[in-house]
Amino acid sequence: MIPGCILRNTIYERRYTISSFVVRRSSFVGCFLFAVLLYGCQCQLHKDNRVLMGTFVEVASADKRAPEIVFAEIRRIEALLSKYKPESEISRLNKTGKIQASPETFYVIKKAKEFWQASGGAFDITVGPLVDLWGFTEKKYRLPDKESIAAALKLVGSDKIILNEENYMIEFKTQGMKVDLGAIAKGYVLDCASAKLKESGIKSCLINLGGQVYALGQKSARPWKMAIRDSRGKGFKKYLELEDKSIATSGDYEQYFIRAGSRYAHILDPKTGYPAESGIVSVTVSAPSGLIADALSTAIFVLGKEKGSVLAKEFPGTKIEDISENNDARQQ
């Protein structure tokens, strides 16, 4: 029924072959991301990288076809979902308030709406006007006044997205609404890219898309190994072994600005209109689906550790791999 690389939202079955990796956060083109460093057995991996979706993409696989397959799939989906591409379906939706979407765009919006519901509104792609207002879209940061925040908040709420399953129409209830898929699109892309690899018979690959990782299969009969680097300090906090899993991190140290000694980061609380103040500095989630890892890490960042842990339990196969807190919410 659904074409493209739309994926059902749960567990995928995969075969593995593999190698070892370390994951590190570093900054690039204005945002933080994981840089994947190979260590140990490199086993003739073919590695390539590109800048796509406004971020750094690295692919490593024993199969030399893998990088191009991944890059092509990222470009294809970016053309649908990027709010920075004027011709994308999302840009057209944001401009006109109504589109007949492709089944894929429809699917991602529908999943986002499900996350909105599941997270009690903490995850909400309609934060678009707030993201613009705080200057995160253009990376021209500003501290908005209360009136502007109140006005933008009137445009927020995924209940105001009307979805028609029969003809894939997406419509906003309120004029001026905007969706921002920054917290879910990368995860979906990873799922699609890994599905394309499997279609081509590639069973082992590691994709790092701006800090979110998908580890397809294994290499040398061992899981991919990665390390989570400390967000504030130096060194590694935790080592992970991944097969057919994605890891996503949401943190307050990727995109943020400091005003009068306070830190304002890019994940917003749709209830207040201000950057989330759950006390979480960084949360890393693993999941069998990139889309779920991506959306979940953002939702947990907004909800905080306690409520976030409850939410994570609703998604089979997911795990909070790491969580750092700082109770001084606007700490630097």
Binding region for ligand ADP (CB under 6 A): 31, 123-125, 127, 131, 136, 180, 182-183, 186, 211, 250, 254-255, 266-268, 270, 294, 297-298, 302
DSSP state of 215: E
List for the chain the helix, strand, coil content (%; round to 5): 30, 30, 40
Of residues 67 and 191, the one with the C-beta less far from Mg ion: 191
125 interacts with, out of ligand ADP, Mg ion, none, CB within 5 to 8 A per kind: ligand ADP
From candidates 183, 226, 242, 247, binder to Mg ion by CB under 5 A: 183
Cα 134 to Cα 149: distance, rounded to the nearest angstrom: 9
How near is the Cβ of 167 to ligand ADP at its closest, in Å? 26
CB under 5 A: which stretch of 49-57, 121-129, 182-190, 305-313 binds Mg ion? 182-190
CB under 5 A: which stretch of 24-32, 60-68, 153-161, 180-188 binds Mg ion? 180-188
Residue at token pair 């939702």: 299
| 3-state secondary structure (DSSP) of residue 93 | helix
Asked if 217 and 16 count as a contact pair (C-beta separation under 8 A), the reply is yes
DSSP state of 230: P
How near is the Cβ of 60 to ligand ADP at its closest, in Å? 20
Asked if 95 and 88 count as a contact pair (C-beta separation under 8 A), the reply is no
Q: Classify residue 1 by burial, with Cβ atoms within 10 Å: 0-12, 13-18, 19+.
A: exposed
Work out whether 189 is an interface residue with Mg ion (CB under 5 A): no
Of residues 27 and 174, the one with the C-beta less far from Mg ion: 27
Which amino acid does the sequence have at 9? N
Give me the residues paired with residue 268 across strands: 275
Helices (H) and strands (E) in the chain — how many of each? 8, 16
How near is the Cβ of 34 to ligand ADP at its closest, in Å? 9
Q: Binding string to Mg ion for residues 219 to 258, with x set by CB under 5 A, is what?
A: ----------------------------------------
From candidates 119, 284, 289, 298, binder to Mg ion by CB under 5 A: 298
17 interacts with, out of Mg ion, ligand ADP, none, CB within 5 to 8 A per kind: none
226 interacts with, out of Mg ion, ligand ADP, none, CB within 5 to 8 A per kind: none
CB under 5 A: which stretch of 19-27, 69-77, 136-144, 288-296 binds Mg ion? 288-296
The size of the chain, in residues, is: 332
How near is the Cβ of 298 to Mg ion at its closest, in Å? 4
How near is the Cβ of 183 to ligand ADP at its closest, in Å? 3
Of residues 67 and 211, the one with the C-beta less far from ligand ADP: 211
293 interacts with, out of Mg ion, ligand ADP, none, CB within 5 to 8 A per kind: none
How near is the Cβ of 196 to ligand ADP at its closest, in Å? 21
Q: Where do the H-state alpha helices sit in 97-145?
A: 103-118, 128-133
131 interacts with, out of Mg ion, ligand ADP, none, CB within 5 to 8 A per kind: ligand ADP
Of residues 133 and 202, the one with the C-beta less far from ligand ADP: 133
Asked if 7 and 108 count as a contact pair (C-beta separation under 8 A), the reply is no
**How far from chain centre, in Å, is Cα 5?**
17
Task: Dump the DSSP string for 136-163.
Answer: TTTT------HHHHHHHHTT--GGGEEE
Cα 136 to Cα 256: distance, rounded to the nearest angstrom: 8
Cα 210 to Cα 31: distance, rounded to the nearest angstrom: 8
> Which residues make up the interface to Mg ion (CB under 5 A)?
183, 294, 297-298
